[in-house]
Chain A
Amino acid sequence: MIRVNHYGVDATRGAVRASLAALGAALREKGLAVDVEGALRAAEDAWR
């Protein structure tokens, strides 16, 4: 399991975007197809 903590100052758009982008890059390095841009758009849309 992977955990993205939203503790205190990490409960920000920036931390969420950076976490998703880094996970996406790690998955891509493993040879898997990922949609990082789509994920970031979805995250932005869901920020409420």
Chain B
Amino acid sequence: MSEESTVVTHPFLDLAPLGAAQFASIEDRVARLLRTEQDVVIMQGEALLPLEGAIRSAAGPGTTALNVITGPYGQTFGNWLRDCGATVIDLAVPFHTAVTAEQISAAFEEHPSIDFVSLVHAEAATGNTNPVAEIGEVVRRQGALFYLDAVASVGAEPVLPDAWGVDLCVIGAQKAMGGPAGVSAVSVSERAWTRMAANPRAPRRSYLSLLDWKERWIDGGRKALLHAPAQLEMLALEACVERIEADGLNAVMGRHRAAAAATRAGARVLGAGLEPYVYEDREAAPVATTLRSPSGLVASELVARALASDPALPLAAGGARWPRR
């Protein structure tokens, strides 16, 4: 028996190398999805990588950050910002609501030194979504750097970094895009690059570093990758962007909007005390619908019973409630 005949391959194995040109092409497709002219960097890890990398790159001891908390990720961002030495002003709103542009404006009036704003667009865990376009107008007027976590919103509702004045916009493909969780992307404005370059504490020669990608990948004409890419994840990202392009982004977003509206309407009629966690339709995220479990029932038990009939149903128990005081 020849050596060749004993080697068993698999669709995931023995892949041709994913080169710089293909990598750059996938970045360009992600940029088109976001309608952005900014640099888009695809980072080789789950979205927490660019989320943390962007904060550590752009914030430091001289930063005054307005950290908007509308769910669990806002709390995490505040912790990173404090760890960077930034002065952090937390603006927390109940998790079943959204923050308003007026609240952001009031925070700037109270703290004129704010030069960085962190916001989560939509929170899958709580099912709420924030009016980023309106907030972006306020942030732009004040000249602060605008950092947005759009992981749960991209593909489900419009995400427009350029139109909204977002300087750092992080996306992941694993939610509405239906893609892989192992790679993620961040769009970076020119002034965000400038802020990072001036930050002596910005990670350099580090896996968290955005500047490494700027200096060694983008400024080099995207000819040589920093390291071997996560090949399977990159191919899956390319496939899921291709699928969205084929379906049309508006159609994909429309399906998410319709699914959320239908779920909310159905839950209200179902009865037994089940009701949407986010009361206002306009504050409900299209990516996931959160429901209050009936009084006296444990959500995880209810979900387990529901999943017993079909384990593939997109149901989960848990999420994040506004802390009771």
Known pairs A18-B310, A32-B272, A40-B266; A3 contacts B316 (CB<8 A):
yes
The residue in chain B whose Cβ has the minimal distance to the Cβ of A6 is B259
Pick the contact of B317: A2, A6, A25, A29 (CB < 8 A): A2
Interface size on A, residues (CB 8 A): 42
Interface of A is mostly: helix
Kindly report which residue of chain B lies nearest to residue A29, judged by CB atoms: B305
- A-B pairs under 8 A by CB, number: 184
Nearest CB of chain A from residue B71's CB, rounded to whole Å: 12
Q: Please measure, in the bound complex, the distance between the C-alpha atom of A13 and the C-alpha atom of B261, giving whole angstroms.
A: 11
- B290 beta carbon closer than 8 Å to chain A: yes
**A30 pairs with B297, CB closer than 8 A:** yes
Contact A46 B127 (CB under 8 A): no
Do A22 and B315 have beta carbons less than 8 Å apart?
yes
Most buried by A among B155, B274, B310: B274
Task: Place the interface of chain B in its size category.
Answer: 35 or more
Residues of A within 8 A of B291 (CB): 1-4, 23
- A28 to B, closest residue via Cβ: B272
- Shortest Cβ distance from B291 into chain A, in angstroms? 4
The residues of A with any CB-CB pair to B shorter than 8 Å are: 1-13, 15-16, 18-20, 22-27, 29-30, 32-36, 38-48
User: Which 6 pairs show the lowest CB-CB distances between chains A and B?
Assistant: A8-B178, A46-B265, A43-B266, A26-B305, A22-B306, A32-B272
